[in-house]
Chains A and B, each alone.
Chain A
């Protein structure tokens, strides 16, 4: 279950990470080890086991459609990298 160098670079690109050659090699080893460990599960016969999407035996956890108080603009912008009047301002998309 070894992961290729190209796959490491692809995943890094999706996560917007820039890796140098040494890092690519290190993560290739680490990711391969993780995949291998998880791959152990595939050795079991799980044809009768439904995939688990959540560990809790809980369903239909929802809230009623009743508004609560939102943050003020000042609160909302408190951690903003940059504020432009009543908007968040970010580098061009």
Chain B
């Protein structure tokens, strides 16, 4: 009898906060500056420079903790995590260890098969490292390399979120990540852009016989910069581990570097020795005691969260549509359009397909004008609608000029064009009358071409059928 295997997946996510300044100094936080122009004695670790925590970063972390139903610590402290690397000028990262700001939360992930609750072990605040670029050097010594360091990012506030290892499929892991990202973006904490590194994640994967509660050796997947890659990498790692166990082998604890183009994930260079970070309380910083009034004030800033909205919208639409609208940040626009009288399903289709394809930020769209456009979708030529859609994000966009270009559905205007098309294509007419009904599309296409796409194709189709009717 063969064993059924259950995957056990845990996630560790880093989100870069978009505060105006860094975590422990008031250098500007953010991209765009020339290298090494956002530095000071604190983030360059000059002797004697002292860190001052960023109040807003602390508040944002608490806000996220509340959104994830965490317990907010009555007392939290920072620790030093010690290691040597050129991206860390102090030779320690200020992080949190056994007294994090937020712990014991959860995020409920709606899926097509019901809701799955994912435990949040902790969400803590720390500082980011600088950016290293490894370069080959030119010159006489072949193969010599150097590391170039840009400290602009060094010291940026990062929130680290650690889930419980209670995710049991790649699909749920992916949905969790999408939902967490949307939550973080809506709270205004971070842009959480995977391609810019403002959201990064590592995945721990192990498998066990279904029904057991053991935790077997896990491997860590790093370097995944899309949710689809993450799902693919997890699937692949699950299959690899199952195969090893079924062949009587054992899984080694290792870190795998995900390469989407390769068939397998390559192991990264193993660490020479087990990590020994020698955490100890940061003596340069005093404890945090978030006041209850502060916490309640932050709680008041949190609106209806994505999970709750998916749940609510799935009462009207399918789970799939609700999920796409909410995790795509489209549901507020959808609701506005539906309130304006549009059909819910049609509005969802337009948003999830045609609108998403334009790449326009939903928050740039004026819902009233968008509603007018969607309402007249069936009455204006497709090309006009698409053109309008590509401009809905423009400042001052008005649907009026597009809606005014109603498709020509007046038979008296279309009949002469149709007659001309029929006259010009006697061969096709004969074939059609001989039973080749598929040619109807040909005639409609010709009429659309003659009218410059302004005709209503449904009316044309009817009229052509009438005129050819034999």
Binding site for B on A (CB under 8 A): 10, 13-14, 16, 53-54, 56, 58-68, 70-73, 76-77, 79, 84, 86-93
Partner of B150, one of A58, A59, A68, A87: A87
Contacts of B21 in A (CB 8 A): 65-68
Expressed in whole angstroms, the Cα–Cα distance for A76 and B49 within the complex equals: 14
For the complex, is B405 an interface residue (Cβ under 8 Å from A)?
A: no
Shortest C-beta distance, A71 to chain B (Å), equals 5
Within 8 A of A (CB), among B53-79: 53-58, 75, 77
Determine if B36 and A76 form an interchain contact, defined as CB atoms under 8 angstroms apart. Answer: yes
Is the Cβ of A53 less than 8 Å from the Cβ of B77?
yes
Q: Which of A63, A76, A89 contacts B151 (CB 8 A)?
A: A76
A70/B278 in contact, CB under 8 A: no
Residues on the A chain within 8 Å of B82, using CB: 14
Q: How far is the CA of A64 from the CA of B25 in the complex (A)?
A: 10
| Binding site secondary structure of chain A | loop
Output the nearest chain A residue to B52 by Cβ-Cβ distance. A63
Check if B28 sits within 8 Å of A67, measured CB to CB: yes
* 8 Å CB contact of A90 from B77, B86, B289: B86
B107 on the interface (CB 8 Å rule)? no
State which of B141-149, B394-402, B434-442 sits at the interface with chain A.
B141-149
Residues of chain B in range 192-212 having any CB-CB distance to chain A below 8 Å: none
Q: How many A-B residue pairs have CB under 8 A?
A: 123
A73 touches which of B37, B40, B147, B287 (Cβ 8 Å): B37
Q: Is the CB–CB distance between B281 and A53 below 8 Å?
A: yes
Q: Is B180 an interface residue (CB 8 A)?
A: no
User: What 0/1 readout, one digit per residue, does chain B (69-106) give for beta carbons within 8 Å of chain A?
Assistant: 00000010100001011110000000000000000000
Q: Does B383 contact A (CB under 8 A)?
A: no
Is B267 on the interface with A (CB-CB < 8 A)?
Answer: no
| B283 CB–A CB distance under 8 Å | yes
Establish whether residues A76 and B39, one from each chain, have CB atoms under 8 Å apart when the complex forms.
yes
Tell me the nearest residue of chain A to B28, going by C-beta.
Answer: A67
Q: A84's contact among B41, B53, B148, B283, by CB below 8 Å, is which?
A: B148
Residue B377 lies at the interface, judged by CB distance under 8 Å to chain A: no
Residues of A within 8 A of B37 (CB): 70, 72-73, 76
Residue among B20, B145, B146 with most chain A CB within 10 A:
B146
In angstroms, Cα B37 to Cα A71, docked, is: 7
- List residues of chain A with CB within 8 A of the CB of B150: 86-88
| Residues 23-59 (chain B) with a chain A CB within 8 angstroms | 26-28, 34-41, 44, 46, 52-58
Chain B residues whose C-beta falls within 8 Å of the C-beta of A79 in the assembled complex: 46
Contact B286 A61 (CB under 8 A): yes
Contacts of A92 in B (CB 8 A): 134, 145-147
The answer to whether A90 and B147 have CB atoms under 8 Å apart is yes
Closest Cβ of chain B to A43, distance in Å, is 22
Q: Which of B114-164 contact A (CB under 8 A)?
A: 132-134, 145-151
